Amino acid sequence: MTESLTDTVALVTGASSGIGAATAQTLAAGGATVALLARRTERLRALAEEIEAAGGAALVLEADITDPEQAKAAIERVVADLGRLDTVVNNAGVSFVGPIEDAPPQEWDQMIAVNVEGVLNVTRAALPHLVNAAQTAPRRVADLITISSTAGRVARPGQAVYALTKSAVNAFSEAMRQELQPKRVRVGVVAPGTVATELATHMRDGVREAVEQQLAGIELLRPQDIADAVAYMVTRKRHVAVNEILVRAAEQT
């Protein structure tokens, strides 16, 4: 049995592409009003139009989540304009892989800034609103989902700092899960394997080609496969908490 998201509000970070865009569309189709957050607002506006054309409702939020003030302002805007916040999907992230000895320091810094500090900034600003939503109709439960990675579970060569960031959000989520459980804020993690998105296109020359070669011939996951996992988590009845879903491409080791 699933619960409808009608009359709830969901925020998806990194909604301008890939997993975030698919997740926003799926939650909107499930009845949620969706707040779409990223830096590329043209893409967010195009997505909002698609959602609205399909009968849904969306709010576009331009923010860089590495800046705590921007993250806070975006969440205050959601609550001011839409009245509440029931679901947060901490999805925005970056991935730079490659041999540790050659890694440009700015790649490490950016992964930590977006994948860790960004998640903390959004979560800190959203928590009071999630706690409020969990006490009120229609659902009397709220959801805080973070998109981690298989790299948060198994660290592999070439992924040291990316794996560090995803292990960090797993630990953060598990502690919060226990702390927020009495308040009926369900904290969950979705860990995807390799998904066909723009993520790898941001990697530096040489590394990008190596990654593409490694994945050649494998049928990768699609963003919708991960959106489906998020939707499953947030549409459980209030007595069910799905804490973690790991989704690999069937051909991925």
CA angle 249/196/32 to nearest 5° reads 95
Residue 97 or residue 141: which is nearer to ligand NDP going by CB? Answer: 97
Q: Which of 64, 174, 228, 244 binds ligand NDP (CB under 6 A)?
A: 64
Residues 92-121 that bind ligand NDP (CB under 6 A): 92-95, 114, 118
Report if residue 39 touches ligand NDP, rule: CB under 6 A.
yes
**140 to each of 13, 34, 40, 84, how far by Cα in Å?**
23, 18, 33, 12
Options 63-71, 172-180, 181-189, 239-247: segment touching ligand NDP (CB under 6 A): 63-71
Report if residue 188 touches ligand NDP, rule: CB under 6 A.
no
Which tokens hold the place of 252? 């991925």
According to DSSP, the residues that pair with 36 across neighbouring strands are 12, 60
Residue 237 C-beta: closest distance to ligand NDP, Å: 27
**112 to each of 93, 124, 184, 194, how far by Cα in Å?**
9, 17, 29, 20
Rounded to an integer, what distance in angstroms lies between the CA atom of residue 112 and that of residue 116? 5
Report whether 238 contacts 181 (CB < 8 A).
no
Residue 202 or residue 238: which is nearer to ligand NDP going by CB? Answer: 202
Report if residue 147 touches ligand NDP, rule: CB under 6 A.
yes
Report if residue 25 touches ligand NDP, rule: CB under 6 A.
no
Rg, Å, the chain Cα set: 17
Options 98-106, 175-183, 191-199, 204-212: segment touching ligand NDP (CB under 6 A): 191-199
Active site residue 162: yes
Report if residue 28 touches ligand NDP, rule: CB under 6 A.
no
Q: Which of 42, 101, 102, 198 binds ligand NDP (CB under 6 A)?
A: 198
Q: Which of 82, 199, 229, 233 binds ligand NDP (CB under 6 A)?
A: 199
Report whether 114 contacts 39 (CB < 8 A).
no
Report if residue 78 touches ligand NDP, rule: CB under 6 A.
no
78: CB partners within 8 A, 6+ apart: 9, 11, 35, 59, 61, 85, 129
Closest C-alpha among 137, 135, 160, 163 to residue 149: 163
In the sheet that holds 244-247, the strands lie side by side as: 57-62, 33-38, 9-13, 87-90, 142-147, 185-192, 244-247
Q: Please tell me which residue in 162, 184, 197, 203 is annotated as part of the active site.
A: 162
Report if residue 149 touches ligand NDP, rule: CB under 6 A.
yes
Using CB under 6 A as the criterion, which residues of the chain lie in contact with ligand NDP when the complex forms?
13-14, 16-20, 38-40, 64-66, 91-95, 114, 118, 147, 149, 192, 194-195, 197-199
Q: Which residues are catalytic?
A: 162
